[in-house]
A and B are shown apart, each in its own frame.
Chain A
Amino acid sequence: MEPLSSIQQAMAFAWWVALGVCVLLYIALDGADLGAGIFSLFVDDEHERGAIMASMAGTWDMNETWLVVAGGILFATFPAVYGSTFSYLFIPLALALWAIMTRAVAMELRHLAHRTRRFTDLAFGLSSLATTFFGGVAIGAVLHGYVLTPEPGHTPTYAGGALSFISPFSIWTGVASVVAVTLAGVLYVRARFEKGEPIREQAARWTQAAFYVALVAVVVTVAWSAVEFPWAASKWFSSSAWVWALFLIGAVYAIVQMRRATTQDRDVAALLWYHAGAVVMGVAMMATLYPWLVPNDWTIFSGASPQLSLTSFTLAMGSFLPVMFTYNAYQIWVFRGRLSKFHGYHH
């Protein structure tokens, strides 16, 4: 491909930032929904499970839209990366998609199902679990990178086997995502239900354990990356190590604040601190990767479309993302109130 002009390089960079924002927003927003779904697997009362689904009724669709938008940006701006990475991730993505669809259908149809509620609830919980796990596996597999096969006259593409996404690291990131997302779900349930509701109290009991397991998962992931990936280690332990120290301090601060908020029953604050921590770590990860999009395969610039145009860029950045952002924030604000389980069924 021809090299990009400097304006195009700047646009590719900005699109990359936008992509990161969308992915992070998706992880933060839908993460809490998915975690609540995983949590619902352990909730015995049918009405309480219903209440969990009802609590996200107005927002889950919009939260998921960030994933669609991220996919759109990837396809439009980094088509070479989209085409090869998605073939590489065939199995985890197909399974995650399957789960996402099952989850949507289970939620949409639960209130119409009467005899089959046990089934819709189980489908909801398991599909939340599967989405999270395979999403996490996909992230780990991308960090691992893949072998690109050059094709004469074509863009290099993925021609390896379907199973090469599997590595101890990618399986681990799958597990770690489940753990981290479960914590988000527990915090979400605490924040969304009236104090004193049994379901909120169950979530409160879970918090401590979920917190420590998630903490261990994060530490292990970071340490493992340092050992496994030269591109990460060389950045972290370089002369600019202080930058990474700042990220670390930021993350630790957010985690400590989250813990304090949970012990003081400030549930919304706890959830927000969780998100803050996740954002700090996400940004740190992107900064570590830079300029790679997929380590050793695609940089932001080698994977970008030769066709980046200022018009569509301005259109999207200037109007679309801000509007969508405002709308999503507004929606969450509208639905922020706490619920009681009696919202779980009509009467």
Chain B
Amino acid sequence: MSEAGLTTLISRIDFAWITTMHILYPPLTIGLSIILFLSEWRWNRTDDEKWYRLCRFFERLFIINFGAAVATGVTMEMAFGILFGRFSQAAGPLVGQLLGYETISAFMYEAGFLGLMVFGWGKINKRMHLFATFNVALASTISAWWILDANSWMQTPTGVVLKNGVFEVENWLAALLNPDSFVAFWHIEVASVELALCFVAAVSAWFLLKQRHVELFLKPLKIAVFSLLLIAPLQIFIGDSSGQLTAKHQPAALAAMEGHYRTRLPNGEPNTSWNVVAWPDADGHGNAWSIKIPHALSLLENHTWNSAVPGLDTIPAADRPPVVIPFYAFRAMSAVGTAVFLLALWGAWLAFRGRLSVAKVCANRWFLRAALLGVALPYLGIWTGWWTREVGRQPWVVYGLMRTADGVSHMSLTLAVSWLVGFMAFELMASGATFYFMTKVVRLGPDLDSPVVTDGPAHEARRLPRFAAMPDRPTPGGMAAFTQNHE
């Protein structure tokens, strides 16, 4: 490989690394904020203290996660220009605009209401607080829409012309509502909810395994299990729609995901076998070995028994994406989708048999352990999903229009490597710290002693300006400082 080629590869890995580390956090923000809103709403409706304790407890985990999302996210915004300067110059008119909208809707709108949500307990009335939580949830979902819109435009770039090296938008509507945008957005939105539900289930399962606060944590576990019973198949359905779209708009990516090299068999019949596992041969023209199921590919992609699916042999060699990562990442993601559904079925079956009652739940140790470890599944699904998508788009940064090699900044190999080393070190440390402190908060457990907040004095309820006066026991640190600290 030439030095320029190697630099391009490393800068792709640079970018892949920081997005991969960033995407660890946003989905939990998105999903958990929705769950927090619903729980707080239940508390408002029923006045049941349990909801309140749960909200406050999960909110503390939420804030730690949020801090990490901000720290890694700021890097992302700058990294477009630093690592992919020429892509930014060309696509800025559209992608920059969309990220600008994200700045508006997520960072301003969300930062504003997050302040109210975190500092506002007991300072503003309950209704107002609920409204703040609602807006945090809405803002993070809107943010996901814009960022996915930018990314889906890179996958299916409609509505633009390339003039003098700049993508000029001819039709904003066509660019914003590009073919991939809706499915891509719903896929990640539902993935986020799925992840947050698994997260809630895992934390609850941990308490049940330890037989702590059994009554309190049984409720969220059951709710998560039953919600997953709906959400997990929904995600599989949306994932299938996503695959249909890829087949239509990015046949090369689909062929790579399926390790599908030959469109037709030597005898001219369509090659319809679906590879369960495979490994490409050395020269990249076929599989060295594979285990396959006849007709399955045709069924999966075309929903017919025996029709041709374009293979990599229909794509000019220079335009073919790598195969191994999309192929295995895609399988891992699908396995995750299925596994989460099975986990939900297991829980539902136990509930149906009456074994998820306060008296009996702690006896289901295997199920609780599975629910605890199950939290890794959606994280893995989200990672492998993104890897499928982004690697499958190669060698294009804007599919069919701009090659990745033309999008990278001019930089030296040394520089690209130092970036990787520096940010690897930092982001591993940040994710380690996040994990460490989250587990610490979980071990401390919910605060059951401090009084439940009330609406506060009537005059204060209406006069917002005092909502964020310094809390009674401030502690140093960032926003997280304002969650109680009791040791």
Contact = CB atoms under 8 A, between A and B. Distances in A.
Interface of A: 1-2, 49-54, 57-58, 60-62, 64-65, 67-69, 71-80, 82-87, 89-91, 93-94, 97-98, 100-102, 104-105, 107-112, 149, 151, 153-155, 157-162, 305-307, 309, 312, 315-316, 320, 323-324, 327, 330-331, 333-335, 337, 339, 343-347
Nearest to A82: B81
Contacts of B480: 108-109, 111-112
Contact of B92 (A50, A61, A75, A323): A75
Contacts, number: 269
Contacts of A330: 465
A162 B103 contact: no
28 contacts: A51-B476, A53-B476, A69-B103, A75-B92, A75-B95, A80-B166, A82-B81, A82-B85, A82-B96, A83-B84, A83-B86, A86-B81, A86-B82, A101-B74, A105-B433, A109-B480, A112-B437, A112-B440, A153-B164, A154-B165, A155-B86, A305-B93, A306-B163, A312-B97, A316-B104, A320-B104, A344-B476, A346-B485
Contacts of A69: 103, 107-108
B419 interface: yes
Contacts of B70: 61, 104
Given A90-B411, A104-B67, A108-B67, A76 B96 contact: yes
Given A72-B100, A105-B67, A320-B104, 20 more contacts: A54-B476, A58-B479, A60-B478, A72-B99, A76-B99, A79-B92, A83-B92, A97-B78, A101-B74, A107-B478, A108-B477, A109-B477, A149-B410, A153-B164, A157-B86, A157-B89, A334-B467, A334-B468, A345-B475, A347-B473
B92 A86 contact: no
B240 interface: no
A157 B112 contact: no
A333 B86 CA distance: 42
B86 A154 contact: yes
The 8 A-B residue pairs whose C-beta atoms are closest, nearest first, are A79-B92, A86-B81, A83-B89, A50-B476, A111-B477, A154-B165, A307-B93, A75-B96
A162 B411 contact: yes
Contact of B165 (A71, A100, A153, A344): A153
A79 B93 contact: yes
B165 A57 contact: no
Given A98-B422, A102-B426, A162-B411, A346 B92 contact: no
A61 to B, nearest CB: 6
For A76, A102, A107, the residue with the greatest tally of chain B CB atoms inside 10 Å of its CB is: A76
Interface of B: 64, 67-68, 70-72, 74-75, 77-78, 80-82, 84-97, 99-104, 107-108, 111-112, 115, 119, 163-166, 168-169, 172, 406, 409-412, 414-415, 419, 422-423, 426, 429-430, 433, 437, 440-441, 465-470, 473-482, 485
Nearest to B68: A105
A170 to B, nearest CB: 17
Contacts of B166: 1, 79-80, 155, 306
Given A53-B477, A57-B479, A153-B164, A305 B92 contact: yes
B87 A334 contact: no
A57 B426 contact: no
Contacts of A51: 476
B470 A335 contact: yes
A345 B481 CA distance: 10
Contacts of B163: 2, 306
Nearest to B473: A346
Contacts of A76: 92, 96-97, 99-100
Contact of B81 (A87, A98, A108, A162): A87
B476 A83 contact: no
B99 A337 contact: no
Contacts of B467: 334
B169 A307 contact: yes
A284 B93 CA distance: 29
A157 B85 contact: yes
A337 B474 CA distance: 13
Nearest to B92: A79
A107 B477 contact: yes
Contacts of B406: 154
Contacts of B422: 94, 98
B375 to A, nearest CB: 21
Contact of B80 (A75, A327, A345): A75
Contacts of B75: 97, 101
B409 A158 contact: yes
B177 to A, nearest CB: 16
B412 A161 contact: yes
A129 B88 CA distance: 30
A77 B440 CA distance: 44
Contact of A157 (B80, B410, B479): B410
Contacts of A58: 115, 119, 468, 479, 482
Contacts of B419: 90, 94
A79 B75 CA distance: 17
B100 A65 contact: no
A4 B309 CA distance: 47
A102 to B, nearest CB: 7
Given A53-B477, A87-B81, A111-B480, A82 B99 contact: no
A269 B102 CA distance: 36
B78 A57 contact: no
Nearest to A75: B96
Contacts of A80: 89, 92, 166
Nearest to B93: A307
A94 to B, nearest CB: 6
Contacts of A337: 469-470
Contacts of B85: 82-84, 86-87, 157-158
Nearest to B119: A58
For B91, B102, B470, B479, the residue with the greatest tally of chain A CB atoms inside 10 Å of its CB is: B470
Contacts of A154: 86, 89-90, 164-165, 406
B115 A90 contact: no
For B112, B422, B474, the residue with the greatest tally of chain A CB atoms inside 10 Å of its CB is: B474
A45 to B, nearest CB: 12
Contacts of A345: 475-476
Given A65-B108, A158-B409, A162-B415, A108 B475 contact: no
A58 B479 CA distance: 6
A50 B164 CA distance: 54
Contacts of A84: 85, 89
A346 B471 CA distance: 11
For B68, B87, B101, B104, the residue with the greatest tally of chain A CB atoms inside 10 Å of its CB is: B104
Nearest to A59: B115
Contact of B87 (A71, A83, A93, A316): A83
A331 B115 contact: yes
Contacts of A98: 422-423, 426
Given A75-B88, A94-B82, A101-B71, A111 B476 contact: yes
Given A68-B74, A68-B103, A87-B81, A112 B89 contact: no
B430 A105 contact: yes
A85 B477 contact: no
Contacts of A72: 77, 96, 99-100, 102-103
Contacts of B89: 79-80, 82-84, 154-155, 157
A79 B92 CA distance: 5
